A and B are shown apart, each in its own frame.
Chain A
């Protein structure tokens, strides 16, 4: 059974940093592109970033370029999202998901990041 479990969310002050983790199991993690998708409270889904199987390619939505960094550890089956210079509008549930041809097959349960003073 495919499982994706996010962790690392919490309350952080504006300008602060946080690292989200996503533990993958039940599939060959190193074979998949992986993405982060976020959802602000009461709002829609927003694709944030993606990384290829070997971590040699990264892509980001314009709104987060330079502040968020996606990475992965295939030996440990973990996906990460480093969030820096956080702003109030980064407040959201962050989901990790497998991606193939711009479709998101499997999703984690999400991790809430709240940016507030």
Chain B
């Protein structure tokens, strides 16, 4: 149950697009449709943004999109806005024991 690998930081200017990667193995990210993404502001609870690789819950703007290729999933934030500045986490089925595993998190800065 090793944590998924995310870059510690990412940045972009308002209006631009930025992609955040989440790398696992063929046992977790690569072998599962159950990849999700969360947004977390400091001192707040996480919020679900994307589930099952590329599905958005009701109320999440379509500026947020997800994809997966091999053992790496990606979250793309388009049309960056100031309030997109937050921490982003990926999660996946861990591949065994009905367990889930999170990524280490990426701090997104809007320049």
Contacts and interface: CB of A to CB of B under 8 A. Distances in A.
A103 B89 contact: no
A110 B46 CA distance: 10
A104 B46 CA distance: 9
Contacts of A101: 34, 51-52
Given A95-B45, A104-B46, A105-B57, A45 B1 contact: no
Interface in B1-44: 1, 3, 32, 34, 36, 38, 40
Interface residues of B, number: 28
B110 interface: no
Contacts of A57: 98
Where chain A touches its partner, the secondary structure class is: strand
Interface residues of A, number: 23
Given A103-B52, A105-B57, A45 B89 contact: yes
A73 to B, nearest CB: 22
Contact of B38 (A45, A46, A99): A45
Nearest to A102: B34
A105 B38 CA distance: 10
Contact of A103 (B91, B94, B97, B101): B91
Interface of A: 35, 37, 44-47, 50, 57, 59-62, 95, 99, 101-105, 107-110
